[in-house]
Amino acid sequence: MQIVSFARAGYTGEIVKVEADLRRGIPAIDIVGLPDGAVREARERMRVAIRNSGLDFPRERILINLSPADLKKEGGSFDLPIALGVLAASEGNVPEGEAILVLGELELSGTVRPVRGVLAAVARAQEAGIADFILPAENLEEARLLGAPARGARNFAEALNAYHEICSIRALCSPDAETEGSGDADGAKDISAENNAEEPRWRSYQLGYEDVRGQERLVRGLQIAAAGGHHLVAWGPPGCGKSLALGRFDCLLPDMDRKTALEATRIHSIAGTLEADFSNGSRALLSRPPFRQPHQNASLEGMIGGGKHCLPGEISLAHGGTLFLDEVAQFRSGVLQALRTPLETGTVTLSRAGKNETFPADFQLLMALNPCPCGHFGESGRVCTCGPEAVDRYWKRLAGPLLDRMDIRVPLSAPEGESFADPGRAPDTESLRREIDRARRMQRERGAVLNGKLAPGDIEKLCVLSESAQALFGKGMETARLSGRGGHGVLKVSRTIADMEGSVLIEEEHLMEAFQFRRWSGLLPDFLS
């Protein structure tokens, strides 16, 4: 059996062939194939781990080759495959035939530690036709998501036994090679019905919108955004409740479908944030839509991705969910403008040293900000200390092209005392969800993506206006001086509003509400009009 491992390189990664050669000479271990410091240190870890497992370590000169040679190998996941390769070579077991994927970091005691990127590794191996896997026991659930008959190892002795078992089965050419002799393989497809559900499911939350009072328009905008996957920006004075309302947007979203959940889980597995981001009590599938809220000091690399190991950034970690930028005007302008292409394509491509890596980045963008640096511009009874130029510079940090992609725009003011104190006017989260579910069900029945993701060619076919709405749309486009993207945004939002009411045609009232959500406040700088 040929032992292979996995090198993290972008979203897909690469399969790495592990070769070991033993010959006479002064005992030494050499590792070639562009290893980093952690991989070179595997020499000592695996030597001690093998001895502490009660096994003899070969006394020959050992050469370990990791190919392809031009791909940098990083991390501790190569410990276990190197150790198995060395013992296999010492036993005279020439690695031929079908490959077996091995991952795992070794402690000096022989214990196998979990590693990141297992889901990506198994997916890439399956694409290459690899059917057998030896993985850390704590990573088995990730492999089971893809139906992989993986064998889990808690220590080196178990990993070695699993390797011998696979070799024996292959030698006998057993038709049951994928399942026979492996208790772990029996549970390979033991995934809950919830994770396999065709339709997204809802989860209960202790925090909803019942205590978000006096901001009915904002809650309505968030409901439409959740129903159709639209981007939203809200602005208002400090303390008006915009951060509170947008921060609870997650409770309006159903669970991800299985395809999106697998993609999101794969990204978080590569980033090493899988366990920390799970909210469903499972260490396997990330079923809830991610909700990412980076700090205003986030760098371009942290937001988009990249770095030494080409890891995913916040926009990829938000894939299938939401990216919430609070006090968005305080983010670096370059960071904000880098969001424009991913918002359109749903992917982000990182170019590093002549190599391109593409990560999924299909997310909803929510932005909240004050109307000016001091926060009191246009607020009745408060004095704004910012001049017109300061307000203009403040909003230009976001730039027109990014703001043009926000289909829903909600100006806010401080809530009135009556509405704030009346519990009877509080939104009902369950009622909001029912309308969202109705809209999403209609979108699924049309076989289309969410309305917010509709391509221009699909808008004409799916956003069908009634006769009276057609005349209103033409007049509204002229009055509001909307761009082509702006007109498409109005149609997509009106389509979502119609879906929430169960209407096949877009009527006047749906279109009028969409136009209202497209308007900027007349108090804002002229370049926004």
The DSSP line for 82-144 is: HHHHHHHHHTT----SSEEEE--EEPTTSBEEP-S-HHHHHHHHHHTT--EEEEEGGGHHHHH
**Which comes out higher in pLDDT, residue 426 or 304?**
304
Q: Model confidence over 341-360: pLDDT tens digits?
A: 999 999 999 887 667 888 99
Per-residue tokens: 221: 């905008």
pLDDT score of 424:
60
Cβ contact 4:17 at 8 Å: yes
What is the pLDDT of the chain when averaged over all its residues?
85
* Least confident among 4-13, 153-162, 334-343: 4-13
pLDDT, tens digit, for every residue of 277-290? 444 434 567 888 99
Residue 467, CA distances (Å) to 34, 153, 471, 506 in order: 67, 67, 7, 10
Mean pLDDT of 352-381: 86
Domains of the chain: 2-187 (3.30.230.10), 216-528 (3.40.50.300)
Tokens of 390: 């300061």
Q: What is the pLDDT of residue 353?
A: 66
The pLDDT assigned to 286 comes to: 83
User: Is it the case that residue 491 has pLDDT exceeding 70?
Assistant: yes
Report the alpha-carbon distance of residue 517 to residue 224 in Å, rounded: 10
Mean pLDDT for the stretch of residues 108-129: 92
Query: Looking at beta carbons, which pairs linking 196-204 to residues 24 or more positions away fall under 8 Å?
Result: 196/258, 197/255, 197/258, 198/257, 198/258, 199/254, 199/257, 199/441, 199/444, 200/254, 200/255, 200/256, 200/257, 200/440, 201/254, 201/255, 202/254, 202/255, 202/433, 202/437, 203/255, 203/280, 203/288
CA 383 to CA 388: how far, in whole Å? 13
Could you give the CA distance from residue 266 to residue 116 in angstroms, rounded to a whole number? Answer: 10
Model confidence over 186-226: pLDDT tens digits? 443 333 333 444 556 655 555 788 888 788 899 999 999 99
Q: Position of tokens 């289309």? A: 448
Q: What pLDDT, on a 0 to 100 scale, did the predictor assign at position 527? A: 59
DSSP state letter for 506: B
Q: What is the pLDDT of residue 529?
A: 56
Quote the tokens at residue 104: 């795992």
Beta strands (DSSP E) in 187-338 are 232-235, 291-292, 305-306, 311-312, 322-326
Spatial distance between the Cα atoms of 375 and 237, rounded to a whole number of angstroms: 5
Q: CA-CA distance, 154 to 141, in Å (whole number)?
A: 14
pLDDT at 176 exceeding the cut of 70: no
Q: What span, in angstroms and rounded, lies between the C-alpha atoms of 260 and 405?
A: 23
Residue 94 has pLDDT above 60, yes or no: no
**What is the reported pLDDT for 275?**
64
Q: What is the pLDDT of residue 181?
A: 38
Please say whether the beta carbons of 36 and 72 come within 8 A.
yes
User: Mapping DSSP to helix (H, G, I), strand (E, B) and coil, where does residue 241 land?
Assistant: coil
Terminal Cα-to-Cα distance of the chain (whole angstroms)? 67
Residue of 2, 290, 262, 268 lying closest to 147 (CA atoms)? 262
pLDDT of 209 reads 86
More confident residue, 383 or 362: 362
Neighbours of 177 (CB within 10 A): 20
Q: Which of 96-100, 187-191, 202-206, 320-324 has the lowest mean pLDDT?
A: 187-191
Per-residue confidence band for 55, with pLDDT thresholds at 50, 70 and 90: very high
pLDDT > 90 in the chain, percent? 51
pLDDT in tens, 228-276: 999 999 998 888 889 999 999 999 999 999 899 999 999 998 888 876 4
Which of the two residues, 352 and 47, has the higher pLDDT score? 47
The pLDDT of residue 284: 65
Stretch 360-385: mean pLDDT, rounded?
88
Output the CA–CA distances (angstroms, integers) from residue 468 to 310, 403, 471, in the order listed. Answer: 52, 29, 6
Report the pLDDT value the prediction gives residue 4, as an integer from 0 to 100.
93
| pLDDT for residue 218 | 93
Higher pLDDT, 381 or 35: 35
Least confident of 35-44, 255-264, 276-285, 441-450: 276-285
112-134: average pLDDT: 92
- Pairing between β-strand 291-292 and β-strand 305-306 as defined by DSSP bridges: unpaired
Least confident stretch, 135-139, 170-174, 287-291: 170-174
How many Cα atoms are found within 13 Å in the side-chain-facing hemisphere of 485?
12
Contact 509, 424 (CB under 8 A): no
Is it the case that residue 433 has pLDDT exceeding 80? yes
Q: % helix / strand / coil in the chain, to the nearest 5?
A: 45, 15, 40
Q: 199 with 444: CB under 8 angstroms?
A: yes
Most confident of 10-24, 175-189, 317-331, 340-354: 317-331
Q: What confidence category does residue 170 fall into, taking pLDDT thresholds of 50, 70 and 90? A: confident
Give me the half-sphere count of Cα atoms (radius 13 Å) on the Cβ side of residue 35: 21
**pLDDT value at position 289?**
93
* 124, 5 contact by CB (below 8 A): no
The string of pLDDT tens digits covering residues 457-471 is 899 889 999 888 988
